[in-house]
Chain A
Amino acid sequence: MFKITKKTLLAPNIYLMDVHAPRVAKAAKPGQFLIVRVHEKGERIPLTICDYDASAGTVTIVTQTVGASTNLICAKEEGDAFLDFVGPLGQPSEFVEETPEELKSKRILFVAGGVGTAPVYPQVKWLKQQGVDVDVIIGAKSKDHLILKDEMSAVAKNVYVATDDGSFGTKGLVTDVLADLVESKGLKYDVVVAIGPMIMMKFVSLATKKYGIKTIVSLNTLMVDGTGMCGACRVTVGDKTLFTCVDGPEFDGHLVNFEEAMRRQVMYKSAEGQKLRKQEKESDSSCRCEQ
C-alpha cells in the first residue's frame, strides 16, 4: 500500500498528492510516468510523475477529475493509501542525458496546458538547478483553473499565461502566445516542450513545424500494463509504430500522427461513459469534486 501523505486542491477539480513510494521516488527522472490502482477491482491508471523527493520517499502526482478512474483517485484523502503505485515507467526526458553546457546553449520554451502544467514544473525546476533559464507558456480555462503559476515564476525566466476567457494573461490559446513570441516579438527558440491535452500538443506542433523549431510532446495514451506488454499505447511516429509506455512518453511532435493518437484515445469512451453513470448511481456523494 502506498500512503497519501499530502493532498492539496490546486484548482477546481485538480488535486496535488504526495504519495509515499520510496522505490519510485529514488528512481524517478523528469519526463517519466507511473501507474496507480485505487481498489481491488480498479483499472491501472497511468499518470505523469510531477515531482519526487528521494529523501522523503515521496512522489507527487497531480490529477484532474475527468473520468471514472480519476474520480476515484481524487476521492482519496490524506492518510488513505493507493493499492498499487508502480514506476517510474517510460524514458526520461532527453535533456536529462545532456550536459549543463549543452543545455545552457539552447533556448528552451515549455508550453503547458491545463493539468499538463504539473509535469512541466519539475522539468523547469530541474533545468533551473542546472543553471538553465527557460520560458514557459501556461494555458488554462480561466484564472481559477490556472495551477502552479507562482511556483513556475520562481524557477522560469519568463512565464506567459493564456486563458480561454481572458480572466488572466492573454485571452486565447497557448498557440496565440506562441505566435506572438515568435512572429511578433521575434524571439528565437531551439526547442519547444509541449505537455497538455493531445489537441493542444497537436496545434503547438503544427505551429512549431512552420517555425522550424524542434518540438517534444508527452503523450497520454491508453495503457494497461505500462511495461510494453499490451501495445494499447501504440502510436505512429514518422513511419514507425512505437509504444508510448516504453519508447515514450516523449516523442518528436513533428512526427507524431495526432489524428490517429486522438482517435485511439477514445477507443473505450463508451465503456467509460457507462462506468461513470454506474458510479453516479452507486454513490450518492461520490467525489464532490465539482465544487
Chain B
Amino acid sequence: MANKIPRVPVREQDPNIRKSNFEEVCYGYNAEEAMLEATRCLSCKKPKCVAACPVSVNIPQFILEVAKGNFEEAARVIAADSSLPAVCGRVCPQESQCEGDCIVGVKSEPVAIGKLERFVGDYANEHQLNLASTAPANGFKVAIIGSGPAGLACATDLAKLGYEVKIFEALHKPGGVLEYGIPEFRLPKEKVVKAEIENVRRLGVTIETDVVIGRTVTIDELLDEEGYHAIFVGSGAGLPKFMSIPGENLNGVVSANEFLTRTNLMKAYDESYDTPIYVGSRVVVVGGGNVAMDAARTAARLGAIVTVVYRRSKAELPARVEEVHHAEEEGIIFQLLSNPTEIVGDEKGWVKGVKCIRMELGEPDSSGRRRPVEVPNSEFEVETDVVIMSLGTSPNPLISSTTPGLNLNKWQCIIADEEGKTTREGVFAGGDAVTGAATVILAMGAGRTAAKSIDKYIKAKHS
C-alpha cells in the first residue's frame, strides 16, 4: 500500500541559525521528495480534501501529476483554481483544511498537500511557466479594490472570463497582507509574492498603486466617471486594535501592524532601507495569533529577547501549531495565562515594563473557548523596552464611509451575502473586509465567489 510510506519530512533552517536571519525557515521539498510524498495520495473518488479547500483546488489530480513527475501539468491543474499556489502552500492552515480531512491522516499522517502545492508553485515560478489562458475580451470593466489575496483571486477569475480588470492598491506595492503583514522568513517577497502577482498580471490584469479608495477616488466616481461595470471591495481588515490600558501611548508601544509594516513592506530590517525600527533589548508581544507569532519572531531576528503574553493557555493559542512550534524553537518565551493591565514608562516617556495579572480559565464563552478570568492579587511586572500589541484588526471605514448605500454590521465589516453581494448595487465584497481578520485562503475563496457573482450580475444587466 502506498500509504505505508511515512510522510516525507521537510527540511528546515536550523533554529539557532535562522533566529538571526530573515531567510525562509522551511526549505520545501525537492523534486525527488515531492514525487515520493505524492505517491502517498490515495486518489480518493470523492476527495474530502477538495471539499475542505476554500478555492476547491483539484488536489488528487495535481498530486497524481507530481507523482508522475509532470510538474508543469500539476501547475496547470492548480492554476485552474488558484493563482497563488506558492503563497498558499506556505501560509494556508492545511491542518484544519485539506490535510485535516485527508483519509491517509486517519491511520497515519496526512499527505503533505501544502508542501506539495508549494513545490509545484515554486516550480512554476522558477521555470516561469506561462499558465495564463483567457477568454476573448468581453468589453466589460471591473475595478478591484485592494491587491491582497481576495482581490488577486477575484481579478484572476474575472480576467480569465474576458473582463478588463484593474486593481487599485493604496500602498506603493501590491500584495496587501502578503506584502505588509507576513514576514519574509515565512513568505519571501521577491521569489514568491512578486512572482505570483506577475502571474496575475500575465492574465491582463493591471494594478494601479498609490490609490486610496474613498480618498483619492470614490467608488461612485469609478462607477459613474471611469466606466466600471462592477466593483469588488477586498480592502482587508487593516485597523489595529489597542487595549485601552494606561501607558499605551508611551514611546515603544506599537501595533503589530506598524511593527510588521516597518519590517516587511518598508524592509526596516535591512539597513540599506531608510525606514527605522526600534526593538531595544527586550520585547513583549501581547496576543497569541499568527500575527503575534510573526511579530515575536521578527523581533527576535532583530536581536531582542521576546516574551509573548497571552491571556489563555497554550491549548487556546489561536496561532497555527506550526508557528508556535517554530517560535518556541527560536527561543520565544511564552508567558501564558497572563494579561497586561498597564504599561509602565520611565521619566522620559519610554516603556520600561508591563504590569500583568495572572488569569485562570473559567466557563466556555460564545467562541467555545474557556473564558479567562483574573486571579485576584496576582499582579506582576515584566521588564521590557518595546510592547507590540497584536490583538486583531478590524476593517478600515474609509470605503464604507464614502460609499452611500454600502452598509456595515456592528463589527464595522461590510455586509455581503454568500455570493459577495453588498447592499449597494454593482458593488461586491469579500475577504477580511467582510469577515474581519481571517486567513489568506478564505479571502481567496471569497474573491472567487464574488467573481462568479459579478459575472452573473454584469451578464444579466447587459444582456
Question: Which residue of the partner chain B has the closest CB to A274?
Answer: B276
Known: A84-B210, A263-B251. A229 touches B261 (CB 8 A): yes
**Known A42-B274, A68-B274; contact A227-B249, beta-carbon cutoff 8 A:** no
CB distance from A54 to the nearest CB of B (A): 13
Q: Does A182 contact B (CB under 8 A)?
A: no
Q: In the assembly, what is the distance between CA of A228 and CA of B393, in Å? A: 11
Whether B130 sits at the interface, judged by CB under 8 Å, is: no
Q: How far is the CA of A241 from the CA of B252 in the complex (A)?
A: 16
* In-complex Cβ contact of A87 among B212, B238, B278 (8 A): B212
Q: Identify A229's interface contact among B209, B240, B273, B348, CB under 8 A.
A: B240
How many Å from the CB of A235 to the closest CB on chain B? 8
Q: Does A232 contact B (CB under 8 A)?
A: yes
A225 touches B171 (CB 8 A): yes
Residue B217 interfacial (CB < 8 Å):
yes
Residues on A with C-beta less than 8 A from B257 are 229-231
Contact A86-B273, Cβ < 8 Å, known A224-B261, A230-B255: no
CB <8 Å contact, B172 and A37: yes
Interface 0/1 of B273-304, CB less than 8 Å to A: 11111100000000000000000000000000
Complex CA distance for A230 and B348, rounded to whole angstroms: 23
Number of interface residues of A (CB under 8 A): 39
Nearest CB to that of B211 among chain A residues? Answer: A23
Interface string of A204-239 (1 = CB under 8 A from B): 000000000000000000001101111110111000
Complex CA gap A268/B211 in Å reads 28
Chain B: interface residue total (CB-CB under 8 A): 40
Asked whether A66 is an interface residue with its Cβ less than 8 Å from the other chain, the reply is no
Contacts of A236 in B (CB 8 A): 249
What residues of chain A lie closer than 8 Å to B266, measured between beta carbons? 43-44, 224
Nearest-neighbor residue (CB-CB) of A40 within chain B: B273
Residue of A nearest to B267 (CB): A41
B262 within 8 Å of A (CB atoms): yes
**For residue B169, which residue of chain A has the nearest CB?**
A86
Residues of B160-174 contacting chain A, CB below 8 A:
170-172
Whether, in the assembled complex, B349 has its beta carbon less than 8 Å from a beta carbon of chain A, the answer is yes
Residues of chain A contacted by B209 (CB below 8 angstroms): 84
Distance in angstroms between the alpha carbons of A51 and B209 in the assembled complex: 23
User: Which residues in A have some Cβ–Cβ distance to B below 8 Å?
Assistant: 23-24, 27, 37, 41-44, 68-69, 83-89, 224-225, 227-232, 234-236, 241, 246, 260, 263-264, 266-268, 271-272, 275
Residues of B within 8 A of A (CB): 170-172, 180, 209-212, 215-217, 238-240, 242, 244, 248-249, 251-252, 254-255, 257-258, 261-262, 266-267, 270, 272-278, 348-349, 396, 398
Additional 18 contacts, C-beta under 8 A, given A84-B209, A241-B249, A266-B251: A27-B216, A41-B267, A41-B273, A68-B274, A86-B212, A224-B266, A225-B171, A225-B261, A229-B257, A230-B258, A230-B261, A231-B255, A236-B249, A246-B396, A246-B398, A260-B349, A263-B349, A275-B276
- Please list the 3 inter-chain residue pairs (A to B) with the smallest Cβ-Cβ separation, ordered nearest first: A271-B276, A230-B258, A86-B210
